Structures are given as structure tokens and as C-alpha cells.
């Protein structure tokens, strides 16, 4: 391997982020403080929603969201098996049960027609938790219509979907609560972190208290009442889910670049699609109702036309110095979910088929055209041989 290894993902950190973090370190305020508040305000303005709450992970945000909408032990929540485990594990945190529904073979998002069938035959469902896979929006009009029909709440897992527009409207303004991820591989990266958005002031107030031990007021409003500044009250058994100012400093500068990042990701995706479309693969489908944030570019191998399997393809890419990944191993194949609910691999046949063919290619803003062409060239060598 003569060329330097090209990783599957890299955060795009510039001098602006470094300077903002250094400013934070010099300020002496490292935990949740002025930078976190600023990040929330600027994110709220960007999305166009009245409430944005910074948290230390998307997982934490999803947990708080389900708490806010009143999920109780024994409740059921419809979601997808084609996601990372965090989407479903937060349901179990509250003693509730996930109801997995298979996915659409084109978008890899949850199949709305199958949601409707599940609602017709199952009682005790309280919410729908769709995942905007790869950065492409779900069929939100249909999901929201079903939610209204059955009096359900909608919490969106938008870990991949910044920025994604659905019918001209940014994700973050659609369901009851939306949660984003700022993990190191995401379109906006703070290392670890996330953001919750909602238009509901009661939900926002509830989540704001619970994200920091159930404290009734934060550092910014302790002087806003007649009680002493040192005084606080615990109104619920909360969690340690707050974002710190170091992560927020990164987020402030990353948010300023998010549209530029999107433009570059889109350029890379277009190069892949144009160059690979004639090979024995399926390039990502783009739904006309949704833009694509291109957090992921998932290629599907047409295994019936090839003499190699997906794992061999990945091994040969790696041997050529190119990192890839697989998104996702469906949840019903994992030990915990399989054993708890007695799943068989074929219980969700679309998710299983997509998984067996799926390869996520490198896609991040700092990739050069030469990097992209190198990936394309190696794919052609492997598949044409």
C-alpha cells in the first residue's frame, strides 16, 4: 500500500474552532456557561425553532425527549430496526417497549405503510420515533397524519439530518421534538454532544431542568428572583446531560460552516453517483420531497451480479488503503434485542437485505477531488475484476 490511508470519516476542524476553544479555556469557564448559551441561541435561530437545548449526546437528548412527552413503563413506541442502538435503548431506559417496523428499500427510512398496519393491529402505542437515515428526511407528512389520527407524539432522531429540508422546511420544525447528534463523524462535530429542538415551551422547560439533575434554574437565571444566587431547588430526579462550553465552542464555529460543509458533501456525493451508476451497485436514492445532508453515502452491492460478498469488498478496499463502514447492523440481529424479543433475522427482511449489501463510502468536507477519484478508481478495480 503506497498511498496514505484514507479514513472513512474525519472531522473538519480549522483555526476558527481552535481559537474559539482557546478563548473558552482562557475564560476559565469550562462547564455549561456563556458559550453553551450562545450555541443554543444560534442553533435555534438557524433551525428556526423557539427552543434549542444543548446536551452531551444525542442519546441523552432522545432520553429527555421521551421523558418530556410522558413515556411510562409498558408504553410502546414505533421505531426502525435500521439504526444505531441508541435510538431504541432510550425507550428501554423508561421501561417502555420498541415496536420495530421494517424500512423502505429505497430511502432506508421507516416504511410508513407498515407503520399504519402496526397501528391498526397493536394497542398501547404512545409515540413514533423515526430516524432520518443518512441525512434524508422521512415521509413526515404521512407520519404526522398517522400521529394525529392515533393521538401519538413524534420524536425525530435527526442524528444524521443537519441540515435537511423536507418540502422546503428544515428538519427540526416538524414533529413534537427533534434531536441532533454532534458526534465526531457527524455533519457538525463537537466530539460528543447533541441538541434538542422543540416549539413546545412546556417540553423545553421540562427537559432543561432534567438535563442537569432536575435543578429548577440554571446559572443564567439564579439572580432573576428574590432568593439568593446560591439557592436552587431540585424538582425531579434528573440527569447529568448538559453540554460543556468547550464542546459548545466547537459547535459555534462548526455551525457557521454548516452550509459550506453541506455543499462539499453534496459535491462528493454527486461525483460518486455519476461515476458509479453503471457498475453492479445501487447508488443512494434521493426522494424528491427531501434534500440530503449526506452524512452517509451508502452504496449497495448487487450481490447477485458479483462473485464477491460485501465483507470481501470491504477487505479489498481496506487493503488498498481506503476506509469504509457499514450502516447499520439491524438491531434485531444484535444479542440483546434478538434475545429479549425472540427475533429471527428474517423478521425484518428489507432491513436484512439492505444490511447485507451496504457499504458506506468516505464522505467528509476535507476530502479532495483526488481522494474521491481514488475511492472511485478502487471500487471500479474491485468490481470490474
**What CATH number is given to the structural domain containing 354?**
3.90.1150.10
Q: Are 180 and 61 in contact (CB under 8 A)?
A: yes
137 assigned to some structural domain:
yes
2 assigned to some structural domain:
no
Question: pLDDT for 327-383, tens place per residue?
Answer: 999 999 999 999 999 999 999 999 999 999 999 999 999 999 999 999 999 999 999
87 assigned to some structural domain:
yes
Phi-psi region of 121 (alpha: psi -120 to 50; beta: other; left: phi over 0): alpha
- The parent domain of residue 367 ranges over 258-384
In the listed set 236, 256, 276, which residue is the last one of a domain according to the structure? 256
* Whether residue 133 sits in one domain with residue 61: yes
pLDDT of 224 reads 53
Residue 186 annotated as catalytic: yes
* Whether residue 225 sits in one domain with residue 107: yes
Candidates 35, 153, 186, 217; catalytic one: 186
Question: pLDDT for 130-151, tens place per residue?
Answer: 999 999 999 999 999 999 999 9
Q: Are 237 and 206 in contact (CB under 8 A)?
A: no
Q: Where residue 265 falls among pLDDT bands split at 50, 70, 90?
A: very high
375 assigned to some structural domain:
yes
Mean per-residue pLDDT, 171-186? 98
* Whether residue 277 sits in one domain with residue 217: no
4 assigned to some structural domain:
no
pTM for this prediction: 0.97
* Whether residue 48 sits in one domain with residue 185: yes
* Whether residue 356 sits in one domain with residue 284: yes
Count the Cβ atoms, other than its own, within 10 Å of residue 102: 23
Return d(Cα 339, Cα 328) in angstroms, integer: 19
* Whether residue 369 sits in one domain with residue 227: no
Total domain count for the chain? 2
Question: pLDDT for 232-242, tens place per residue?
Answer: 889 999 999 99
Q: The domain that contains 208 carries what CATH number? A: 3.40.640.10
Residue 216: pLDDT over 90: no
* Whether residue 188 sits in one domain with residue 114: yes
* Whether residue 262 sits in one domain with residue 251: no
Q: Are 254 and 185 in contact (CB under 8 A)?
A: no
* Whether residue 309 sits in one domain with residue 233: no
* Whether residue 198 sits in one domain with residue 304: no
* Whether residue 163 sits in one domain with residue 289: no
Q: Which residues contact 385 (CB under 8 A, 6 or more apart)?
A: none
The grid coordinates listed for 79 are 421505531
Mean per-residue pLDDT, 4-28? 98
9 assigned to some structural domain:
no
* Whether residue 272 sits in one domain with residue 248: no
In the listed set 205, 231, 256, which residue is the last one of a domain according to the structure? 256
In the listed set 205, 230, 256, which residue is the last one of a domain according to the structure? 256
The grid coordinates listed for 189 are 462535530
5 assigned to some structural domain:
no
Mean per-residue pLDDT, 13-38? 97
Q: Where residue 313 falls among pLDDT bands split at 50, 70, 90?
A: very high
10 assigned to some structural domain:
no
Amino acid at each position: 500500500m503506497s498511498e496514505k490511508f484514507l479514513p472513512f470519516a474525519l472531522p473538519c476542524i480549522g483555526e476558527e474552532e481552535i481559537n474559539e476553544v482557546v478563548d473558552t479555556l482562557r475564560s476559565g469557564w469550562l462547564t455549561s456557561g456563556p458559550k453553551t448559551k450562545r450555541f443554543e441561541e444560534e442553533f435555534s435561530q438557524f433551525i428556526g425553532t423557539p427552543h434549542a437545548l444543548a446536551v452531551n449526546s444525542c442519546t441523552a437528548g432522545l432520553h429527555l425527549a421521551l421523558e418530556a412527552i410522558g413515556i411510562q413503563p409498558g408504553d410502546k413506541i414505533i421505531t426502525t430496526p435500521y439504526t444505531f442502538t441508541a435510538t431504541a435503548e432510550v425507550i428501554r431506559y423508561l421501561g417502555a417497549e420498541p415496536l420495530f417496523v421494517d424500512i423502505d428499500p429505497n430511502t432506508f427510512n421507516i416504511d410508513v405503510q407498515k407503520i399504519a398496519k402496526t397501528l391498526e393491529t397493536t394497542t398501547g402505542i404512545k409515540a413514533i420515533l423515526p430516524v432520518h437515515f443518512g441525512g434524508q428526511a422521512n415521509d413526515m407528512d404521512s407520519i404526522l397524519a398517522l400521529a394525529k389520527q392515533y393521538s401519538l407524539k413524534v420524536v425525530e432522531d435527526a442524528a444524521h439530518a443537519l441540515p435537511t429540508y423536507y418540502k422546503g422546511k428544515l428538519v427540526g420544525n416538524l414533529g413534537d421534538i427533534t434531536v441532533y447528534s454532534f458526534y465526531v463523524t457527524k455533519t457538525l462535530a463537537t466530539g460528543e454532544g447533541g441538541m434538542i429542538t422543540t416549539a413546545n415551551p412546556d417540553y423545553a422547560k421540562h427537559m432543561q431542568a432534567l438535563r442537569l439533575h432536575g435543578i429548577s434554574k440554571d446559572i443564567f437565571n439564579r439572580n432573576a428572583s428574590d432568593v439568593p444566587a446560591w439557592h436552587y431547588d431540585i424538582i425531579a430526579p434528573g440527569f447529568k446531560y448538559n453540554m460543556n462550553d468547550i464542546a459548545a465552542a466547537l459547535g459555534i464555529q462548526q455551525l457557521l460552516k454548516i452550509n459550506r460543509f453541506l455543499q462539499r458533501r453534496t459535491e462528493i456525493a454527486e461525483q460518486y453517483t455519476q461515476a458509479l451508476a453503471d457498475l453492479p451497485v445501487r447508488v443512494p436514492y434521493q426522494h424528491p420531497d427531501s434534500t440530503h445532508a449526506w452524512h452517509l453515502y451508502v452504496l449497495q452491492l448487487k450481490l447477485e451480479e458479483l462473485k464477491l460478498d460485501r465483507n470481501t469488498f470491504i477487505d479489498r478496499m481496506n487493503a488498498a488503503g481506503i476506509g469504509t463502514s457499514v450502516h447499520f447492523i439491524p438491531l434485531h440481529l444484535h444479542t440483546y434485542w434478538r434475545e429479549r424479543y425472540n427475533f429471527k433475522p428474517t423478521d425484518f427482511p428489507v432491513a436484512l437485505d439492505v444490511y447485507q449489501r451496504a457499504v458506506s463510502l468516505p464522505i467528509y468536507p476535507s476530502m479532495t477531488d483526488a481522494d474521491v477519484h481514488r475511492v472511485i478508481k478502487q471500487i471500479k478495480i474491485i468490481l470490474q475484476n
